[in-house]
Amino acid sequence: MDFSVPEELRAFQQMVRRFVDKELIPLENTEPRGLLPATRERLRALTRDMGLWLLDVPESLGGQGLSMLGQSIFWEEFSRSVATLPRDFYIIGPVVGAVLVQLKGEQKERYLDPVLRGEKFPCFAQTEPDAGTDPAAMRTRAVRDGDHYVINGVKRFITDAEKADFAQVMAITDPVKGARGGVSCILVDMDTPGVKVTTQYKTMMGESPCEVVFQDARVPVKNLIGKEGDGFRLAQEWITRGRILRHGARSCGVAERCLEMGASYAKQRVTFGAPLADRQSIQWMLADTYTELQAARHLVRHAAWKIDQGEDVRTESHIAKMYSVEMGFRAADRCLQIHGGIGLTTDFQVEKFWRDQRPYLITEGAAEVMRMTVARHVLKHY
């Protein structure tokens, strides 16, 4: 088994690292929490020129068609900076994901193509007040009425809903089947009567996800993606890839940068007549973080590689997400501890990594739920 990164991806990795070091990390002090519009546009133009645009979009649609292994390497390098908010990655193109790329015919013309051209902005609406990590508890209903679905329900913590032109809404179309064939995915224009963004939640990461209410919203049946009952499968494909990339690979990037900052500060900071780097307690923090990073990196890249081989990676994605996000938070926490009081100040990046990493233990599958699913696999397998 070859664990090495292919040569072409090593060159790609070096290019992304140079981009992050040169373009993003310097912005952490000048634009500490979110990019200014002019900066965002400059970086978008730069990523287009560099070939870092639409990485996950197939070449047939004008994207790079980068493999999952390649994407995992990108997300690790990209996440070494806190210049952008955790889920603000639009400097590399619109978010298409595993759902929109499947659109055909009129749906492709009305929704996917305008997104790729930058004319429309999507959001993904699955989470509900009583159905976060447990999508089987979903209550939003889409009832067939002639040529329309009538949608009622509430979605919560929906990223970018306030500026989206349309939402990919997961709703129950068959309450008897529930999550086993009763969930469907429907494209809903945000200006549809009965659709309203009611709340924006201010979070510790600086992001403001929304609550969206659907009250007798009538949506054409032709907006159904695939067949009735395909929604849960589509959502799981979206989330599985996100657990590997935006959680697993991202956490490796966080740990890598925290190691850089922690080791550098430990060499500079002198206490009681000696550098912190001479203290065994500090050395062990760095050694543990480095070891855990290597383990997480292998878990993430193995899961990404298996997707590229067309294999089922649900269990691998749960393991990679569970271990990596906890590892990333430990890395940020140790880095903050090494920095001491100065690490608590907003003048340094350490506290931003700490705040930004903590929510990933909850989002897209809490760590405890990941352990439950892995445990089911273990008990079935052995």
Per-domain boundaries in the chain: 7-100, 119-225, 233-381
- 119-225 belongs to CATH 1.10.3720.10: no
- Burial environment of residue 61 by CB neighbours within 10 A (0 to 12, 13 to 18, 19 or more): middle
pLDDT digits (tens, 9 = 90+) for 247-305: 999 999 999 999 999 999 999 999 999 999 999 999 999 999 999 999 999 999 999 99
CB 123 within 8 A of CB 100: no
Q: Residue 1 pLDDT more than 70?
A: no
- 7-100 belongs to CATH 1.10.540.10: yes
CB 101 within 8 A of CB 133: no
- Report the first-to-last Cα separation within the chain, whole angstroms: 25
pLDDT score of 60 = 92
Both tokens assigned to 84: 């952008």
pLDDT digits (tens, 9 = 90+) for 174-203: 999 988 899 999 999 999 999 999 999 999
CB 231 within 8 A of CB 142: no
Tell me the mean pLDDT in the region 357-370.
Answer: 93
Tell me the mean pLDDT in the region 354-373.
Answer: 94
Give the Å distances, CA to CA, from 306 to 51, 163, 281, 300, 303: 25, 35, 38, 10, 5
Query: In this structure, what DSSP letter does residue 349 have?
Result: S
Which regions of the chain does DSSP assign to beta strands (E)? Answer: 122-125, 141-145, 148-158, 166-172, 183-189, 195-200, 210-220, 270-271, 274-275
pLDDT score of 32 = 67
Q: Which residues are catalytic?
A: 364
- Distance between CA atoms of 374 and 379, rounded to whole angstroms? 9
pLDDT band per the 50, 70, 90 thresholds, residue 353: very high
Both tokens assigned to 215: 């009250």
Tell me the mean pLDDT in the region 327-352.
Answer: 95
Tell me the mean pLDDT in the region 356-369.
Answer: 93
CB 77 within 8 A of CB 203: no
Q: What angle do CA 158, 322, 204 make, to 5 degrees?
A: 45
pLDDT band per the 50, 70, 90 thresholds, residue 5: confident
**Alpha-carbon 212 to chain mean position:** 20
* Most confident stretch, 62-66, 125-129, 149-153: 149-153
What DSSP letter does each residue of 280-296 carry, written as one string? Answer: HHHHHHHHHHHHHHHHH
Q: Which fold has domain 233-381?
A: Butyryl-CoA Dehydrogenase, subunit A; domain 3 (1.20.140)
Phi then psi for residue 290, to 5 deg, are: -65, -45
Q: Model's pTM, two decimal places?
A: 0.93
pLDDT digits (tens, 9 = 90+) for 21-52: 999 999 998 876 678 899 999 999 999 999 99
Phi then psi for residue 159, to 5 deg, are: -65, 130
Q: Partners of 243 in the beta sheet? A: none
**Dihedral over Cα of 246, 155, 34, 28: its sign:** negative
- Distance between CA atoms of 336 and 338, rounded to whole angstroms? 5
